[in-house]
Amino acid sequence: MRRTAKGIAVLASATLALSVAACGGEDKAANEQPTVDPASLTAELTWWDTSDPKNEGPAFQELIAKFNQTYPNVKINYQSVPFGEAQNKFKTAAQAKSGAPDILRAEVAWVPEFASLGYLYALDGSELLADEADFLETPLASNKYDGKTYGVPQVTDSLALMYNKELLSQAGISEAPKTWAELKTASQAIKEKTDAEGVYVNPAGYFLLPFMYGEGGDLVDTANKKIVINSEQNAAGLAIAKDLIDSGAAVKPSANDSYGTMMTLFKEKKVAMIINGPWEVNNVQQAPDFGGLENLGVAPVPAGSAKAGGPVGGHNYVIWSGMPQEKVDAAVAFVKFMSSAESQAFLSEKLGLLPTRTSAYQLDAVKNNATVAAFQPVVEAGVGRPWIPEAGQFFGPLDQMATEVLIQNKDPKAALDTVADKYKAEVVPAYEK
Amino acid sequence: MTTVTADPAPSTPPGRSARPSRLRRSWDKHWYAWAMVLPVVIVLAVLIFYPLFRGIWLSFTSLTEANQAAEICTRSITGGEVCADNPNKWEFVGLDNYVRVLTGEVGDFWQWTGTTLIWTFVCVAFHFGLGLGLATMINRPMRFRSLYRVLLILPWAVPAFVSAFAWKFIFNERFGLANALLTAVGIDPVSWFSDRWTALLTAIVTNIWLGVPFMMVALLGGMQTIPGELYEAAEIDGASAWQRFKNITLPGLRPVSMTVVLLGTIWTFNMFPIIFLVTEGQPAGQSEILVTGAYRAAFEGIRNYSLASTYGVLILSILLVFSVFYRRALRKQGEVW
Amino acid sequence: MTEKTATPPTVTAVAGPALAKTRAVRRTGRSRRSPAMSVLLHGTLILASLIAIGPIAWVLLSSLKPGYAIQSSELTLFRDTTLANYSYVLTETNFPRWFLNSVIVAAFTMSIGIFLSATTGYAVSRFNFPGRRPLMMVFLVTQMFPVAILIVPIYTIMARLGLINTMPALIIAYLTIAVPFCAWMLKGYFDSIPTSLDEAAALDGCGPFATFWRVVLPLARPAVAVTAFYTFLTAWGEVAYASAFIQTDNKFTLAYGLQQFVPQFNPQWEYLTAAAVLVTIPAGLVFFFAQKHLVSGLTAGGTKG
């Protein structure tokens, strides 16, 4: 009895396999890819997505469904992982060589770090980098470590000046301020002529970078292995930010939850200008009192005495080195699909995300998107960050410094000297101070 | 519950002649005792003691996430793997980590320790004081006793990180309830997180709110072991409520309160989420306690396991010293453990 | 009145006279309390209750608002009241699954935890075996090393045991938190139960285990209730281990699942608060029904006999 049953089962599965193969054959005919038959790729891949699960997650899942139309036998296990914990979670799992995802959406600063630890596949020589020149240079740079490329840019972003058009015109300001001095004047006008405040400066390291870049400063000089955080330029940049607050042009910020406070005030039209990135566009648009996208102005961050520029952020696709070699083809196919110009255009259209491919910006879906159009000059002015494995540790001391200077009235230069000491002791001991 | 009814009355006459030999009896006892504690010992040994001893060892090395492997291998997507010797492989560094931490070269050990001691002392004192007071009150017969009990326990039932967010909202400098109330009674709003002490206050208030229900329940349970006859006798003797509390309740609660104060101190000392979520160390890291400070120092970016372990061992040492003194102080009042 | 119904009827059979006496005292106690004292007592308790439920009320009220109205420069009790947050949490997320997972993890942690800590606590309380004192100290030491530092090595051990992304990993990890405390707690209670009871049971032919299980444990009911609360809530609200060991949505526990609602840049307070209310209600109900066991008052009557 048992034996016969088993025999039938074997037979059944054999026929099943046959019919599956037959189906695969038909698909192949329908698809025009000469080298690899998409249906012949069979694998199960886990992808940790760190995007906003509510606003962005569904669009990525739609993309996966599209991917599966071409690659029916590559199963993607989509798992949303909160951005804040993904970095440690991935490293813990990769270190234990168990439980890490095959593919991860990694923040730009994570890639050099993971790569230096040997947790990522080097992608050189694969199809993923075949058209490397198509990627925007600055976002792609974050994937390079020690002469190899470990990821493919998914999305890029940078800080911009976001403003409330209605409030600005009420104050008689016709175009967005282009320098910090103009920003100060505009703020004071807004404060005088409307019920709202002028600008909110978020006292956090990342959000102060435009002030420092504006004067020509930076965190470290990676080429010469030098810590330059305590430069005169940075001190001058901080002084500008501090003057905005002291003069009353900017709102007196809170030390805690200042980001949330900034966004609430902006959405309630209680503050006219903020410095923030494209990831907030969706939320601002949805705020009931704000007045939608029509009322949201986006301009490059104001310039200092040297230039105008915000830090480049964004996310990359990376592949875990612990993934078995036999899954490589499927993983490459998946990442290639997700980072293709068409997919990026799809995400632009749905979410207003900024593509990382030059060719994507030529597509209608991107060209006609107002948010993307507004942010494009912002991204072009973006300043690349030091892409070194230690980059993740730069912001802890910087955040402390921001509170000290902007809230506790500590002298900018003295506060920056402390940061430099910390960088030397704890972050990049090999660098010169 | 039938088992209770089946209890042998304590008056059952003793005296079975055929007792096993002393040796045999103690062997039996130990055998049972060991069988009873063995599962716990195994689980703790594997999950806590192995990492703990490893942690002590790591604190004498320079091991980090970046230098732990002897060689770093890079797998190429086109196949093949290149391995290179790790130039900065970890090594034994003796007491270097301790020197760096204790001299303040890395982190702010002494400031964090000071904050931790204040935080622990204030929190535990209020936990115990308020917990004892409330437990005494709701241990009395009165109307709505069950209702009070449930309401007072509720803070414990909310996941701690949600409560932390709730309190953070309450103390929000612009939109929070705390400042709205102050404004309503004519006091200027407070920038809670601009000052070290007010920032710490918000965290302490949050933690007291969170921790009192546990204390209350534990002490309430403890009050049940005090025989009611003692109170009756005292009442007949004309003892006042305060005298009864002082002479019966407090001594009767000793085993329980000793445990909860001891463990409460250890837990509060290492209480991570409240500081981490409510104050985020603001302003500028000044409201950081040892565990949160160590976490930020060692686990942001490339994780520094040896540094983290050094902090861990220092924390462990402080708490061990505390436990020893605590035990000694209690022993003077009579043996407890 | 409630405290009378709270007394389990079976107890009356054992400790009838003692209990009757206690009741008599209680009655006189209440009637003797002066009105001023009553007002003070209730006043204090009402104030304490208000403080206790204040932040929870904030969570509840927030859960009935749309997201944009939660952090707002206008403080309002109600604004655009809606139940949409609840329906989103219940239907659009895996919440029901997380709930089930949490119940499973908490139930196992609770039952195994109580069992292990009761046996351990009893052994330590009653038997003077070699290693007894060190064991209690060892329990303390396990609580002294910060969890944040333990997570990575424990993950490695769990990975070797093949337990990553499984519920046993969580149950075992939570036991390491809960058992040491519970063992200490129960040891304290067991100490207060006269050993004459054990001896009597032993003479009656009960082995040490039967004595413990059938005689001592039932008497320690309030203590068991306390430890049950503690183990249950440890497992119910823990996040750190869960976020390290659990990787797929269908294995999340509630507390960890809730964290999914508060990503760094776009926290959905409306869903977090709605979910938090849904998490708190069952825990509150468990309290409501279990609290009776906290105050059995039978140890006194039962042992004195």
Closest Cβ–Cβ partner in A88, A319, A403 for B282 = A403
Closest Cβ–Cβ partner in B73, B282, B302 for A255 = B282
Check if the beta carbon of residue C286 is closer than 8 Å to that of residue C232.
yes
* Predicted confidence (pLDDT) at residue C199 exceeds the cutoff of 60: yes
Closest-approach residue (CA) in chain A for B68: A117
Lowest mean pLDDT among A53-62, C12-21, C63-72, C109-118: C12-21
Q: B112: number of CA atoms within 13 Å, CB side?
A: 27
Closest Cβ–Cβ partner in C165, C260, C268 for A99 = C165
Check if the beta carbon of residue C171 is closer than 8 Å to that of residue C109.
yes
Cβ C179–B37 below 8 Å, yes or no? no
Check if the beta carbon of residue A310 is closer than 8 Å to that of residue A160.
yes
| Chains in contact with C, counting 3 or more C-beta pairs less than 8 Å apart as contact | A, B
Cβ A425–B105 below 8 Å, yes or no? yes
Domain A158-311+389-427, classified CATH 3.30.420.10, yes or no: no
Cβ C72–A53 below 8 Å, yes or no? no
Spatial distance between the Cα atoms of C244 and C234, rounded to a whole number of angstroms: 16
Q: Which of A158, A236, A164, A157 is nearest to A200 (CA)?
A: A164
Cα separation of the two ends of chain B: 31
AA identity, residue B259: T
Check if the beta carbon of residue A164 is closer than 8 Å to that of residue A196.
yes
Spatial distance between the Cα atoms of B336 and C59, rounded to a whole number of angstroms: 42
Domain with CATH 3.40.190.10 in chain A: 39-149+313-380, 158-311+389-427
Token reading at B108: 């702010």
Check if the beta carbon of residue B197 is closer than 8 Å to that of residue C96.
no
When pLDDT is averaged across residues C116-124 and rounded to a whole number, the result is 89
Taking CB atoms and an 8 Å cutoff, what residues of chain C touch B163? Answer: 55
Least Cα separation, residue A370 to chain B (angstroms): 33
List strand residue ranges (DSSP E) for C245-291, in order. none
Rounded to 5°, angle at Cα A428 from B309 and B87? 75
Q: Does C89 touch chain B (CB under 8 A)?
A: no
When pLDDT is averaged across residues C233-247 and rounded to a whole number, the result is 89
Q: Does C235 touch chain B (CB under 8 A)?
A: no
Q: Give how far Cα B331 sits from Cα of A357, B40, B258, B326, B337, Å.
A: 73, 27, 11, 9, 8
Instruction: Among A92, A251, A265, A270, pick the best mutation site for testing chain C contact (most C Cβ within 10 A).
Output: A92
The pairing of strands A312-319 and A151-158 is antiparallel
Q: B302: number of CA atoms within 13 Å, CB side?
A: 24
Host H or E run for residue C78 = none
- Provide the number of CB pairs (under 8 Å) joining chain B to chain C: 361
- Backbone φ and ψ for A297, nearest 5 degrees, come out as -100, 140
Q: Which of B302, C156, B44 is nearest to A110 (CA)?
A: B302
Structural domains of chain C in order of their starting residue, each with its CATH number: 95-260 (1.10.3720.10)
* Predicted confidence (pLDDT) at residue C24 exceeds the cutoff of 60: no
Please list, residue by residue across A399-420, b when 16 or more beta carbons sit within 10 angstroms of its beta carbon and e when fewer do: bbbbbbbbbbebebbebbbbbb
pLDDT of residue C47: 95
Spatial distance between the Cα atoms of B263 and C224, rounded to a whole number of angstroms: 18
Share of chain B above pLDDT 90, in %: 38
| Chains in contact with A, counting 3 or more C-beta pairs less than 8 Å apart as contact | B, C
Asked whether the bond before C180 is cis by omega within 30 degrees of 0, the reply is no
Spatial distance between the Cα atoms of A168 and A161, rounded to a whole number of angstroms: 13
Least Cα separation, residue A384 to chain B (angstroms): 19
- The fold of A39-149+313-380 is D-Maltodextrin-Binding Protein; domain 2 (3.40.190)
DSSP string computed for C42-53: HHHHHHHHHHHH
CA Rg value for chain B: 27
Q: Provide the edge-to-edge strand list for the sheet that holds A74-80.
A: A74-80, A43-49, A103-107, A312-319, A151-158
Q: Give how far Cα C159 sits from Cα of B86, C104, C162, C245, Å.
A: 25, 21, 5, 9
- Backbone φ and ψ for A248, nearest 5 degrees, come out as 85, 0
Q: Which of B280, B271, B270, B267 is nearest to B168 (CA)?
A: B280
Check if the beta carbon of residue A102 is closer than 8 Å to that of residue A319.
yes
Neighbours of B19 (CB within 10 A): 10
Asked whether the bond before B283 is cis by omega within 30 degrees of 0, the reply is yes
pLDDT of residue C300: 37
pLDDT of residue C25: 44
Low-confidence ranges of chain A (pLDDT < 70): 1-36
DSSP string computed for B21-72: PHHHHHHHHHHHHHHHHHHHHHHHIIIIIHHHHHHHHHTTB---TTTSSSEE
> Using one digit for the tens of pLDDT, what is the confidence trace for A327-355?
999 999 999 999 999 999 999 988 888 99
Cβ C154–B143 below 8 Å, yes or no? no
Check if the beta carbon of residue B141 is closer than 8 Å to that of residue C26.
yes
pLDDT of residue B11: 38
> What three-state secondary structure class fits A42?
coil
Scanning the structure block, which residue is given the tokens 């929000």?
B172
Spatial distance between the Cα atoms of B251 and B299, rounded to a whole number of angstroms: 45
Spatial distance between the Cα atoms of C30 and C45, rounded to a whole number of angstroms: 16
Taking CB atoms and an 8 Å cutoff, what residues of chain B touch A425? Answer: 105-106
Closest Cβ–Cβ partner in C146, C191, C196 for B10 = C196
Taking CB atoms and an 8 Å cutoff, what residues of chain C touch A80? Answer: 249, 260
Spatial distance between the Cα atoms of A380 and A369, rounded to a whole number of angstroms: 17
When pLDDT is averaged across residues C260-271 and rounded to a whole number, the result is 82
Closest Cβ–Cβ partner in C157, C191, C294 for B255 = C191
> What three-state secondary structure class fits A305?
coil
Spatial distance between the Cα atoms of C281 and C293, rounded to a whole number of angstroms: 20
Token reading at B239: 């003892």
Spatial distance between the Cα atoms of A291 and A293, rounded to a whole number of angstroms: 7
How big is chain A, counted in residues?
Answer: 433
State the pLDDT confidence band at C152, using cuts at 50, 70 and 90. Answer: confident
CA quadruple A155, A156, A159, A164: dihedral sign: negative
Spatial distance between the Cα atoms of C305 and C302, rounded to a whole number of angstroms: 6
Sequential pLDDT tens for chain B (337 residues): 333 333 333 333 444 444 556 667 666 667 777 787 888 888 888 888 888 999 999 999 999 888 888 888 888 988 888 888 887 788 899 999 999 999 988 888 999 999 999 999 999 999 999 999 999 998 888 888 888 988 998 998 888 888 998 999 899 988 889 999 999 999 999 999 999 999 999 999 999 999 999 999 889 888 887 888 888 888 888 888 888 888 888 888 887 888 889 989 999 999 998 999 889 888 888 999 999 999 888 888 888 999 999 999 999 999 999 999 998 888 877 655 5
The pTM of this model reads 0.85
Check if the beta carbon of residue C82 is closer than 8 Å to that of residue C66.
yes
> What three-state secondary structure class fits C145?
coil
Structural domains of chain B in order of their starting residue, each with its CATH number: 95-332 (1.10.3720.10)
When pLDDT is averaged across residues C86-114 and rounded to a whole number, the result is 92
Which of A336-350, C123-137, C143-157 is most confident?
Answer: A336-350
Neighbours of C231 (CB within 10 A): 28
State the pLDDT confidence band at C265, using cuts at 50, 70 and 90. Answer: confident
Token reading at B25: 């009896």
State the pLDDT confidence band at C126, using cuts at 50, 70 and 90. Answer: confident
Taking CB atoms and an 8 Å cutoff, what residues of chain A touch C259? Answer: 82, 85
Spatial distance between the Cα atoms of A386 and A371, rounded to a whole number of angstroms: 27
- Alpha helices, DSSP H, located in C127-220: 132-144, 147-160, 167-192, 195-203, 208-210, 217-219
Scanning the structure block, which residue is given the tokens 């326990």?
B153
Q: Give how far Cα A188 sits from Cα of A222, A273, C173, Å.
A: 39, 12, 57
* Distance of alpha carbon C57 from the chain centroid: 21
Any residues with CB less than 8 A from the CB of B182 and at least 6 apart, and which? B188, B189, B190
- Alpha helices, DSSP H, located in B140-227: 145-157, 160-170, 177-184, 196-223
The ipTM (two decimal places) reads 0.82
